[in-house]
Chains A and B, each alone.
Chain A
């Protein structure tokens, strides 16, 4: 059964199942959904995922739309290297940190990213076109997010709090990696795949907080993941400058 993956760039939620599939050695049929052209809200895609969010994975009769549980499905359903620890305590730690990345770290980091990248990338279009695009978004929460990005409605207080949290989270992650080689403990796992998708560009987007001097363990952790053949394979699929930021992690670049 062919796996069909509907995704945008190898970045954030889209990149999670992409990298998990590559690590398992599972070939998939790639369907590129251009977030900035609102492909995810077009009728053809809404037939696959009526919520209009990406990524989505179709495997036989099954349609999966939540990226982190989707990664666990990839590990459960396919042969290949195990991407979850065998120890239940380490599995719990992996899941806790994935939720930390998804629900605490990512919303703040993405608010900054959307204010400086996604918003400006679409904002020059006519207001009527943007309003029509918002009207096609199925979920209220996504309509709110897109409106904020399109019309630059992020308040300075919101962005200040997001910057504070990103700084705070970066410190927590650095401390965690001082105690554990990988997110779950002793082995590379889905937790690292999740964290890499969130943080591969932190050294570029947050250079004052994430660098070799202040966060050496995060830097080493990111480089170790980027050196994996699966990561190289997936990030080579990127079509935009955003995904190209990963090359900052090449050791030769700073030798």
Chain B
């Protein structure tokens, strides 16, 4: 029994949807409204890994009674546990490259992209909600790291200066991807892998959120990479699961930015 709890197919939620479609694995889609905080009503608070949610918000995969969380490790799990198209690199060094890419992009894109996306698309939706009810709902959210991430969207934490810094800091991880793609079409060895799915899900929204960072002039290889992956039937099938028809406009808080500054 395979159930995926997910919201609109964007960023963290998009990754396992692509992988499951690549595997052609039958699964039950359990859609929830992450922007409406429905994930806190799912009743998984007894599971520490799902409750703490290192990415703050994201998909949950329920497989034969075990909850799998954290989107990159979910990709690894899907690749390792399910039959179908191989999604892991074959050699030890390419496996290392895939994991190092997932860790690096998870820390950088995983924290920066959701901030920009949330301020562009989620903050106006939150502002239109009943504020008293919203604050009351948030007050019940635990652990506090997840609650504070939502409250930051309401209390003016993300000033124009902070957003400008976030856009500037995006250049570092995007340029790393561009440099890696100088050596081949894919991020971890000669074939398409979970590293590419992971990167695609976060990179594909940057032309909208920070067009000066990712474009055909500054990052031509990344643009070709995104176009190449977007043509895959599994990717089209994953994106077609959107209920709004505009999956790239749905964001929730992501990985916590470094507390060191």
Contact = CB atoms under 8 A, between A and B. Distances in A.
A133 B37 CA distance: 46
Given A72-B96, A88-B77, A144-B261, A175 B48 contact: yes
A59 B66 CA distance: 37
Contacts of A70: 96
Task: Please indicate which of the listed interface residues A88, A92, A172 has the most CB atoms of chain B within 10 Å of its own CB.
Answer: A92
A236 B48 CA distance: 35
Which secondary structure dominates chain B's binding surface?
helix
B177 to A, nearest CB: 15
B54 A76 contact: no
B259 A96 contact: no
B260 A66 contact: no
A88 B96 contact: no
A155 B152 CA distance: 20
A99 B73 CA distance: 10
A148 B73 contact: no
A69 interface: yes
Given A99-B70, A176-B48, A104 B54 contact: yes
A100 B52 contact: yes
A65 to B, nearest CB: 8
Interface stretch (B10-18, B97-105, B224-232): B97-105
Contacts of B107: 103
A88 B92 contact: no
Interface in A96-118: 96, 99-100, 102-104, 107-108, 111
Contact of A107 (B96, B99, B260): B260
Number of chain B interface residues as a range? 20 to 34
A39 to B, nearest CB: 21
Given A64-B96, A77-B92, A111 B260 contact: yes
A68 interface: yes
B92 A73 contact: yes
A111 B73 contact: no
Contacts of B73: 92, 95-96, 99
Contacts of B38: none
Given A69-B100, A72-B99, A73-B93, A89 B66 contact: yes
Contact of B260 (A64, A93, A102, A148): A148
Nearest to A108: B259
A96 B104 contact: no
Contact of B48 (A66, A69, A148, A172): A172
Given A69-B99, A96-B70, A99-B70, A91 B260 contact: no
Nearest to B81: A88
B96 A161 contact: no
A194 B96 CA distance: 16
B95 interface: yes
A125 interface: no
A161 B261 CA distance: 14
A66 B80 contact: no
13 contacts: A62-B93, A66-B99, A69-B103, A72-B96, A76-B95, A92-B74, A96-B49, A99-B73, A102-B103, A107-B259, A141-B258, A145-B260, A148-B260
Interface of A: 62, 64-66, 68-70, 72-73, 76-77, 88-89, 91-93, 95-96, 99-100, 102-104, 107-108, 111, 140-141, 144-145, 148, 158, 161-162, 168, 172, 175-176
Given A76-B95, A96-B70, A145-B261, 6 more contacts: A69-B99, A77-B93, A96-B54, A111-B260, A168-B143, A172-B48
